[in-house]
Structure 1
Amino acid sequence: MTGIIPFLLSFQKGFCYASWQNNGYLTPESVSSLSLLKGLNTEWVGLVVTWYQDSAHIPDIRPCPERTPSDIAVSYAINRIHSLGMKVTLKLHIDCQSGEWRGRIRPDSEGLWFRNYLVFLKHYAQLANRCSVEQLNIGTELEGTTFNYESEWRRMIDTVRRYYSGRILYGANWDRYQTQVNFWDALDFIGIDAFFPLTNQYEPTLQDLLNAWRNRWFSGIIEFQHRMNKPLIFSEIGYRSIDGANIRPWEWQTPGRLIPESRGIAPNPFFSPYRAGLIYKEIRLYDIGGSLEESSRRSLYHSGGT
């Protein structure tokens, strides 16, 4: 097709994989879950590691002894993923112990926050390099600390590259990737956490979803990718298994009637040959199971996105 950047990188078929336990990635359940991911035609695993700050305004960032996976556990998971023939994106998260969304982080002392964040980045850049991690996602949805802090992010990216030789991306929220990140040129990928609302319907058809995707979002993403001249990854995407999941897909705690098939239907409109990859959000430990849902996930990566 004309007007589309001919990226040489193959499409990345992946799942985010998260644990909020110090030793979660060391457990037999984790080993089994990773094997199941391989059986779902997964090629990439977005391995999540989270550090914490007390609230959106507190600049201290640190691992939580109970909830942050240990370095031993992370290294073990990386080696296990590689042994199964899959590749790794080490996906770095900051969350607030107060429960505030990370996009609301606006620390009282920006200088101290960025110094602490750089400690966080350097630690995992070195770990990723030791473990031959293919990609490093250096931030997720931190929209309160990006646009007005371009120079800080560029300095941190330069520092990360001194410690890590793989490819680097940042995951911006679906409604902020064009306006809140001004350092895309310093990265190897554009990352979008792609929780795009599609329709106002609780039971849309596949054609409804396709029409909404094409009419509301597709052309803007392609135009932006063309302008940035970068491969683009949907660093997170996911629609919960409930009625109406496509309306406000980022609201992960909203109750609703269980519809297992919806996970297999909603992401399909996002497949196209124009992006570098799609990382389905998110498989937690012990979350893989159920014959119908597993079948939907397997078919998701069986033929799409190649």
Structure 2
Amino acid sequence: MRRFWLLIMVIVLQVSCNSQTEKINGISFVGGRDIVDASHIRPVLDINANWACLMPFGFMRTIDAPQITFDVERQWWGERKVGVETTAKLFQDKGVKVMVKPQIWVWRGEFTGTIQMNNEEDWRAFEKHYTDFILSYAKLAETLNAEMFCIGTELHETVKARPAFWRALIKKVRKVYKGKLTYAENWDTFDNVPFWNELDYIGVDAYFPLSEEKTPTIESLKTGWQKHKAIIKEVSQKVDRPVLFTEYGYRSVDYAGSKPWDSSRANSKVNLEAQTNGLQALYSEFWNEDWFAGGFVWKWFDYHDRAGGSNNSRFTPQNKPAEILIREHYKAH
């Protein structure tokens, strides 16, 4: 009998350990202009990713224009329903789970966090258009049996101004989609979202400033994480939800840890070590925390053979030392 109970305890401990280490090891798969096939999925499998984020887009002319245009012929193939459906099935056929994450692009790349209407009439029009946009892709996600759906990305001013709309939207989404839900808020405003407890994950686009060093060391980056990590953990405990980095990553440039959100070409001095150190510090700080669910690295292109490379200063880790790091880290977790 004693041996029996010892065996049971070993099994319980193994299950417990496994549950703590099964992270969302994800990539943000860019929907491009070309049709993808199994050959475009293979490089994602090679880095041991177990999740892929697919991002259809809707477009606004200005930050105060209510109209959202989506799923039209002039969009790239990967940004439309046909692209999301095809790509999702390709990933699922290989055992990779899928998050569908519809996003808005404002003309000229204005920050979506500043979207705000000028009057009540425009707010109501925007809410109708946004609801149509989100429910359209939520229904597609349900049809695809996608494991997760994201109801929005970096829309802080709309969240602050119209919290009741967002709570109503969550209920509408739950009626047509049965999987897990999250919302992706920017690193500097995620702690002000009032509806985290109505979702399954706290979604954070994790571009936190960490270090002013030209080539930040892993130790300096880990030190820089401490104040942010404390707040992240506090929010997780307060609303009793795990944290998911809906986006994370670094450009391969000098000062990569200073303003990780900066996607401009102002600083394009290639620094592959800075990118790799940034990722290593993030993995060291978060992937072993039981309140942390994992994340989606930003970003992965379908044309792997010509993406990234040693002369590339952008976010993608493809064909850089960062890709090797991700492969080994995802394999271990």
TM-score by length of 2: 0.83
Q: Which letter does structure 2 place at the counterpart of 1:300? A: H
The within-5 A match list for 1:273-288 is: 273=289, 274-286=291-303, 287=307
The aligned residue for residue 205 of structure 1 is 217
1:159 to partner: Cα distance: 0.5
Q: Which letter does structure 2 place at the counterpart of 1:65? A: E
Provide the aligned length of Structure 1 versus Structure 2: 292
1:86 to 86, 96, 105: 96
The aligned residue for residue 52 of structure 2 is 45
* Gaps in structure 2 of 5+ consecutive residues: 1-16, 309-317
The aligned residue for residue 312 of structure 2 is none
Do residues 190 (structure 1) and 202 (structure 2) align? Answer: yes
1:127-166 superposed Cα distances (whole Å, 9 cap, x missing partner): 0011110000110000110022111001111001111010
1:65-104 superposed Cα distances (whole Å, 9 cap, x missing partner): 3335232221110000101111001011011123211111
Q: Which letter does structure 2 place at the counterpart of 1:161? A: R
Bigger relative CO (Cα 8 Å, ≥ 6 apart): 1
1:280 to partner: Cα distance: 0.8
Partner of 1:219, secondary structure, is: helix
1:118 to 123, 131, 138: 131
* Gaps in structure 1 of 5+ consecutive residues: 1-5
The aligned residue for residue 235 of structure 1 is 246
- 1:217–1:7 distance in 2 versus 1, CA, 3 Å: farther
- The answer as to whether partners of 1:7 and 1:231 remain within 8 angstroms in 2 is no
Q: Which letter does structure 1 place at the counterpart of 2:319? A: G
Whole-Å Cα distance in 1 between the matches of residues 277 and 73 of structure 2? Answer: 38
Which of structures 1 and 2 has the bigger CA Rg? 2
1:147 to 160, 165, 169: 160
% identity of equivalent residues: 26
The aligned residue for residue 35 of structure 1 is 42
1:265 to 277, 280, 302: 277
2:65 to 58, 66, 91: 58
Partner of 2:109, secondary structure, is: coil
- 1:291–1:110 distance in 2 versus 1, CA, 3 Å: closer
1:283 to partner: Cα distance: 1.1
1:122 to partner: Cα distance: 1.1
The aligned residue for residue 221 of structure 1 is 232
TM-score by length of 1: 0.90
Q: Which letter does structure 1 place at the counterpart of 2:65? A: I
Whole-Å Cα distance in 2 between the matches of residues 128 and 208 of structure 1? Answer: 40
Structure number with higher helix proportion: 2
RMSD over aligned Cα atoms: 1.9
Structure 1 stretch displaced more, 258-267 or 149-158: 258-267
